[in-house]
Amino acid sequence: MAATRDGYGQALLDLADNEKVVVLEADLGKSTKSLHFRKQYPERTISCGIGEQNMLLTAAGLASSGFIPFASTFAIFTERAFEQMRNGVARPNLAVHLCGSHGGTHTGTDGSSAQSIEDLAIFRTLPNVVVLHPCDDVSTRLLTMQLADLSQPSYTRTARNKTPVMYDGRESEIEIGKGVIIKQGTDVAIIACGVMVSESIKAAEQLISEGISATVIDMHTIKPLDEELIETMAKSCGAIVTAEDHNIIGGLGGAVAEYLSSNIPTPLERVGVKDRFGESGQADEMLDLMEISSPHIASAAIRAINRKK
Amino acid sequence: MSMSSTELQELARKCRVEIVKMVYRAQAGHPGGSLSEIDLIAALYANYLRVKPDSPDWEDRDRFILSKGHASPGMYAILAEMGFISKQDLESYRVLGGVCQGHVDMKWCPGVDFSAGSLGMGLSFGMGCAISGRLKNSERQIFVMLGDGEIQEGSIWEAAMAAKHHELGNLKVILDRNRIQNDDFCETQMRMFDIPAKWQAFGWSVKEINGHDMEEVVEGLDFLKNTNDNPAILIAHTVKGKGVSYMEDNPSFHGAAPNDEQFAIAMAELGEVVN
Ligand SMILES: Cc1ncc(C[n+]2csc(CCOP(=O)(O)OP(=O)(O)O)c2C)c(N)n1
């Protein structure tokens, strides 16, 4: 078990040899894990105080001068700087890398003000912006390192709490824009991101007793979406479930629905937060309360299968 | 009916005990900024705020807006002392379904007038309450508690400028100047230089006090209450974690809970007997 935010913190250290890499903080470095970089490279770490809007455009200015800025805060507070991201970063296509930690309701007892359930949706609507939501610390680390070579901006959501490691020994499979088949099955494909990948694995195990064989895909890149893989799954399994700790509007489920309905209509069930705010609770309690934990994914899989013609 | 300084000190001490208990039980939350603000909040509720615990929605009530909403244990403690919520409710802090959400929330807790958690929002919200008071010919006064880290948010200065533009004499700020924010001391994170001069330059009436000296707190709150021709700010110099030795002036206790041993020390220092 490890937290994806630790993978982010590690990646910044791994990237530090590249002197163009600079780190920006908004008084949450201890939480997003950029603090390790700050401790070792204070001269390349820019403290923006509690000022997310200023941070985003400072990063844009740095990117315009050839630096590779990595800026982070809580996922929810990246939204404070959404228009700065839109007009100041995405529009001029400046390679600013924004990371929002503590995403989703899984973040827990801080309550609804801290539980971002719309970040993936809003950043996905911005042209040029790559959107990532990795499921474990290994993939977060590798994906973050790949960002440094990207010539466009990105948004990465990480999570506060620990989740199972998926990619130990499978590091070579991790590439921006490519979904990964974590578990192969035949009857239904569960496409998940972030903390919901391990929930989906649990759901797949529960489905075995119902005689159902499920594929589980880690769709760590929400944009650009791996359409090829989705098409393959639609054809081979004929039923699809999406699972995310995010509003069912506009996130991974929305992206997959957009693709399927226009290209290869397939029964689809979306598991996500049902357009409501969260509250204070432990991470596992929140997944149950929001009806997105493994039993809910399993029953969505059965519903999707029953809809096959 | 107004409480003496000694009585206010005792009230604040009781609140401090509850603050530490809440964070200890939840093993999460924000003790530092709750302990620094509590002398001010306790005195405000006990002697100044025109509110009715048995009818929390009374239209003409004064408003208290805890903009630094993470310091919610401080507010819950005084709400329980005043009778807005029960002592039992304090056990629901950060518990699923509890009235005491991690950050103060008007949808969940009686007596809370603002859903906080994102810094830099409360002063603008307070402006809306102040303008409403003016439009409705209400006597209501609006008190907004800000953190010193919080005033690094640009939106605070948008509101500061606008409050003077609209001459909102019913809008009052208490600044908890405890010199520490999340990661570290403010001095390291974002230097703020002459804070009183900045508010003065925005046209506000300014007074500075020691936020743990009850006589000065009362003088400061008198100043806020009686300054009605201009927006006013009380800059209270405080100590983060005040009252618990190992939390005092310690950035690590911005958002961390005491362990068993530390809890016992805190109770002893706060003069509370626990069985
Ligand atoms: C917009 C926003 N950015 C970041 C945070 C995360 N955060 C919570 S408390 C805090 C530090 C607040 O410091 P201060 O205002 O001085 O409060 P106090 O020391 O009184 O607790 C931060 C950065 C937040 N809640 N809102």
Q: Chain-centre distance of CA A10, in angstroms?
A: 17
Q: What is the mean pLDDT of residues B193-220?
A: 98
Q: Are residues A114 and A230 in the same domain?
A: no
CA nearest to B149 within chain A: A50
Q: Tell me which residues of chain A have a C-beta less than 8 Å from any C-beta of chain B.
A: 25, 27-31, 35, 47-51, 53-54, 76-77, 80, 108-114, 279-282, 285, 289
Mutate which of B19, B150, B248 for ligand 1? The one with the most ligand atoms within 8 Å of its CB, which is B150
Domain of A29 in residue numbering reads as: 2-163
Domain-terminating residue out of A109, A135, A163: A163
Q: Are residues A298 and A268 in the same domain?
A: yes
Inside any domain, residue A171: no
- Collapsing DSSP states into helix, strand and coil, what is residue B264? helix
Whichever domain contains A230, its CATH number is 3.40.50.920
Residue B136 pLDDT > 90, yes or no?
yes
Q: Are residues A38 and A99 in the same domain?
A: yes
Count of the separate structural domains present in chain A: 2
Whichever domain contains B20, its CATH number is 3.40.50.970
CA dist A197 and A190 (Å) reads: 9
Inside any domain, residue B132: yes
Domain-terminating residue out of A119, A134, A163: A163
CB contact under 8 A, B101 and A279: yes
Q: Are residues A106 and A148 in the same domain?
A: yes
Inside any domain, residue B247: yes
Regarding an ipTM greater than 0.85, the answer is yes
Angle at A112 between CA A8 and CA A32, to 5 degrees: 15
Residues A20, A68: contact at Cβ < 8 Å? yes
Domain-terminating residue out of A163, A188, A210: A163
Confidence grade of residue B273 (pLDDT, cut at 50, 70, 90)? confident
CB contact under 8 A, B182 and A109: no
Q: Are residues A197 and A103 in the same domain?
A: no
The chain-wide mean pLDDT, for chain B, equals 98
Percent of chain B surpassing pLDDT 90: 99
Inside any domain, residue B275: no
Amino acid residing at A166: M
Going by DSSP bridges, is the β-strand pair B205-210/B232-237 parallel, antiparallel, or unpaired?
parallel
Whichever domain contains A99, its CATH number is 3.40.50.970
Residue nearest to atom 10 of ligand 1 (CA): B182
Q: Are residues A11 and A124 in the same domain?
A: yes
Domain of B251 in residue numbering reads as: 5-269
Q: Are residues A219 and A254 in the same domain?
A: yes
Count of the separate structural domains present in chain B: 1
Percent of chain B surpassing pLDDT 70: 100
Q: Which residues in chain A are contacts of B193 at CB distance < 8 A?
A: none
pLDDT of residue B179: 98
Q: Are residues A183 and A236 in the same domain?
A: yes
Q: Are residues A140 and A287 in the same domain?
A: no
Is A83 one of the catalytic residues? Answer: no
Inside any domain, residue B274: no
Compute the nearest-CA separation of A68 from chain B (Å): 22
Residue B275 pLDDT > 70, yes or no?
no
Confidence grade of residue B168 (pLDDT, cut at 50, 70, 90)? very high
Question: Catalytic residue among A25, A52, A79, A118, which?
Answer: A52
Inside any domain, residue A170: no
- Collapsing DSSP states into helix, strand and coil, what is residue A234? helix
CB contact under 8 A, B153 and A50: yes
Q: Are residues A140 and A186 in the same domain?
A: no
Residue B119 pLDDT > 80, yes or no?
yes
How confident is the model over A26-53, as pLDDT tens digits?
Answer: 999 999 999 999 999 999 999 999 999 9
Cα dihedral value A63, A65, A68, A72, nearest 10: -50
